Structure 1
Amino acid sequence: MNGRVLIVGAGQAGGRTAQALRRLGHAGPVMLVGDEALPPYERPPLSKEVLLGRAEPASLLLMQEAGWSELGVELRRSARAVAIERGARRVRLDDGSTLDYDHLVLATGARPRVFPGPVEPGAELLYLRTVDDALRLAPRLSPGQRVGIVGAGFIGLELAATARTLGAEVTLVEAAPRPLARLLPAAFAFEQIELHRARGVQVLLGHAVERIAPGRIRLADGGCIDVDTIVVGIGACANDELAAAAGLAVRDGIVVDAAGRSSDPAIHAVGDAARHVDAGAGLDHRLESWRNAEDGAQAAAASILGLPPPRPPVPWFWTDQYGRNIQIAGRPDDGHRCVVLDTPDDGPRLACYLDGSARLRGAIGIDCARELRRAMKLIERGEPVEDGALPVPRARALSEAVAT
């Protein structure tokens, strides 16, 4: 309880780990090191409230800078770790200084995947990951501006919704024939695409981008899209190079168990950089989400202090588009039977996905946070559920469809 804990990565996951350590009773030194100028902050609002002008960057902070000092956490900003010396239990920074640790937590996060094709001289590509990225992009989403977005994942869809809300003309290009293949059942994913088309977004599915020129996106089929701004949202890569160079097990992320322990017992990893692997529990994934950052921080802090681990949470993710809140819990899959509980006039709706044993495996809710939370409890129990026992948004209609 008195060892020195060094946290490399001062984002949401790193900040929450420091807070959890103090809350759970750690009395030793805690240092939080990050390469951004801001104290730890949450990223989800960047593509929504910040770009829409409804939130200032300062509102994203986990706590004000003075709060870290009051918590007894030493915060070192604008500092980058360049090497881990595991034998000596120390980390070397880019200014040549070193920091000792008894326990090291890697919260190094992820970075946007770079467009892999040719980019002609003079072409400018924007990405969205940091506050600085959001501030650079915001002025380009004004009415009449032509915005081309490469990638129809959640970040691309959120950016499209925000840009259209602000009056920009938007073209969304996706190489795959369907969006969100790893996250959503096909019917629901295509429904989101139709929502965007209804709001005036030009959506091109199954169109690979061949190259990017100044003010122009060139497609592999010979087509061209003229734009004023190009934003790339084709996924993210884990920042696991520091761990790999130190000899830790990595595979598109730092390999850890359910408690965040890496292949070195003195090192944990949390957040977007961590790949959770547990063969017994059928666990092998790297999650980029607000909830994963929160839960991973709590689990790692408990593990460092030798405390019982918290119960593994049900995976949960949310997105806001055109004023509608969409929440996804568990692992909804096309192979599951889908029961839709909805309300008239495109109101709140909950889609429940049950396996062959009638156990609820996943749920997708639109504007029904309370019912989604009830569904998460049913997923957590893992017991068979009668259709009539599923949470109904505002007690309205029940219809059923078998996923294809």
Structure 2
Amino acid sequence: MAGNHSNPSGPDLALGIALTDLPDGGKLVGHRDGEPVLLVRRGAEIFAVGATCSHYGGPLVDGLVADDSVRCPWHHACFDLRTGAALRAPALSPLACWSVEQRDGRIFVGEKRKKPSPAPRDSNAGPPPEGIVIIGGGAAGFAAAERLRREQYQGDIVMISDDEAPPVDRPNLSKDYLAGKAPEDWIPLRSEGFYAKNGIDLRLGTKVTGIDVGASEVVLADGTRVGFDKLLLATGAEPVHLTIPGASQPHVHTLRSLADSRRIIAQAGAARSAVVLGASFIGLEVAASLRTRGVEVHVVAPEERPMERVLGSQMGDFIRALHEENGVIFHLGDTAASIGAGDVLLSSGSTLAADMVVAGIGVRPRLDLAEAAGLATDRGVLVDAYLETSVPGIYAAGDIARWPDPHSGENIRVEHWVVAQRQGAAAALNMLGHRQKFTDVPFFWSQHYDIPINYVGHAEGWDTIEVEGDIAAKDCLLRFKRGGQVLAVVTIFRDTESLQAELAMEQSKA
């Protein structure tokens, strides 16, 4: 995932370049001691940082500079040009920084800088909590724990997850990892040693059965109680399970965890045919990954075209055609009636051969704990702009949180990885007393074969879709509008414009 340092390109920046080679607002990639370095000029200031995003190695020279930050073109991570700090998920690790000197009309990159000291604690934030409990080991829970320690929080952190695996890079489970193109050592968000080193009490395979609001305690399945000063609910979502006959057989899968992905991979090695139920993002990414492994794939879904509810009819037709070009066979307007040992019977009466079945028929937010504890809910856990629930001191983030979105003016809930990570980090700051409103514009990406689809904003409904470019040629931008307002922008291979759309949405609600 990291950038390749073996063949650095561009000039040797230790030897310098002419100042005129880097105009105001310009970006340039060179190298220093074999490492790729991005130079960025903003007026009289010149910054030198690592040239590749610390998330998946995206080329930052193709990104967007806004204020004193640079945004990655691939998945919209954001970095501070002065310090290299990762300001926004999905990046967690900082960029390296180098000193820069200007003399005799030339720019020279000097030694790599040491990591800056953490900023002093905001005196207005009040005393930090003594202990924080995080329920959930997904994107939001991990991001919160990581950010708490990055902010030099010294109190206890207990992170409780009912998963058996430490926090993982979940988007990869249906994309490159499932396709066999990403090794397993890419999957953990951090090594196992990270948690002990940072004093994070990570309790895996542990179920929380209740929250005692009055006592400020979390109750575990074995009766243990864990006290908290602040609590973050990041329980995420769980797949909707099939209830048709045959759904409990070992060759029938859902995909949410690393264990799920491993089981699918293990069966895919010997499988000749697979049936994917549901034309959701997860379902279609699974279809693409199984096709990459050479498995025959049939997709069964009740709608007339895939992804129409989220992306509209034109993108839905494109996605169907893309998958059909890669050998996927669709059975739309149909559902599974039952699953046999080696086949699937459809409601239409057809029978499909199936050595394995993967159900991607949606997910449900895990709200049981919140509801039982008396937190306000409405198709999600209701939170304010600071991600605090109706009970002071208890916060919610990720797939379960329904928050006031300043762009649409509505309370929204979004089941996207990057949103969950960013909310986890924001909740961490607010649990420390910083009172920072969550105003990020939602972003997600989906990948089908080698085609990435980037989505900025949130549109549950629209009256107009404006199309720029050519969808079939995989070079397009779509604006989803309601009442003249742009609610969301979808792009294929227009990364800079996707970043610009995100920035414009941020600025429109400033």
TM-score by length of 1: 0.87
8 Å CA contact 1:123, 1:215 repeated in 2: no
Instruction: State the alpha-carbon separation in 1 of the partners of residues 200 and 270 from structure 2.
Output: 44
Deviation at 1:337, TM superposition (A): 4.2
Question: Corresponding residue for 1:100?
Answer: 227
Question: Corresponding residue for 1:265?
Answer: 392
Question: Corresponding residue for 1:395?
Answer: none
Deviation at 1:277, TM superposition (A): 4.8
Question: Corresponding residue for 1:339?
Answer: 467
317 and 94 in structure 1: CA distance in 2 versus 1, 3 angstrom threshold: same
Which of the numbers 178, 197, 200 marks the counterpart of 2:327?
200
Question: Corresponding residue for 1:364?
Answer: 490
Deviation at 1:369, TM superposition (A): 2.2
8 Å CA contact 1:259, 1:296 repeated in 2: no
Which of the numbers 113, 132, 142 marks the counterpart of 1:15?
142
Q: RCO greater where, 1 or 2, for CA within 8 Å and sep 6 or more?
A: 1
Deviation at 1:270, TM superposition (A): 1.2
118 and 259 in structure 1: CA distance in 2 versus 1, 3 angstrom threshold: farther
Question: Corresponding residue for 1:299?
Answer: 426
After the TM superposition, which residues 98-247 of structure 1 pair with which residues of structure 2 at under 5 Å, given as runs? Answer: 98-119=225-246, 124-142=251-269, 145-247=272-374
Give CA-to-partner distance per residue, 1:305-339, whole Å, 9 cap, x none: 22132551111110111111111111356522413
Question: Corresponding residue for 1:39?
Answer: 166
182 and 286 in structure 1: CA distance in 2 versus 1, 3 angstrom threshold: farther
Q: Which deviates more, 11-20 or 209-218?
A: 209-218
Instruction: State the alpha-carbon separation in 1 of the partners of residues 192 and 179 from structure 2.
Output: 25
Q: Note if 1:314 corresponds to 2:441.
A: yes
SS at match of 2:297: strand
Q: Note if 1:89 corresponds to 2:216.
A: yes
Deviation at 1:178, TM superposition (A): 3.0
Structure 1: segments with no counterpart, 5+ residues = 384-404
RMSD of aligned C-alpha atoms? 2.4
Q: Note if 1:63 corresponds to 2:155.
A: no
Q: Note if 1:376 corresponds to 2:505.
A: no
Give CA-to-partner distance per residue, 1:42-81, whole Å, 9 cap, x none: 2000011211222233322222122222323222222211
Instruction: State the alpha-carbon separation in 2 of the partners of residues 119 and 196 from structure 1.
Output: 27
8 Å CA contact 1:12, 1:62 repeated in 2: no
Question: Corresponding residue for 1:54?
Answer: 181
Partner letter of residue 201 of structure 1?
V
Instruction: State the alpha-carbon separation in 1 of the partners of residues 385 and 278 from structure 2.
Output: 31
Partner letter of residue 303 of structure 1?
N
8 Å CA contact 1:185, 1:334 repeated in 2: no
- How many residues align? The count is 381
8 Å CA contact 1:143, 1:167 repeated in 2: no
TM-score by length of 2: 0.70
The structure with the larger Rg is 2
Instruction: State the alpha-carbon separation in 1 of the partners of residues 221 and 393 from structure 2.
Output: 22
Structure 2: segments with no counterpart, 5+ residues = 1-127
329 and 11 in structure 1: CA distance in 2 versus 1, 3 angstrom threshold: same
264 and 311 in structure 1: CA distance in 2 versus 1, 3 angstrom threshold: closer
Deviation at 1:163, TM superposition (A): 0.9
Identity of aligned residues (%): 33
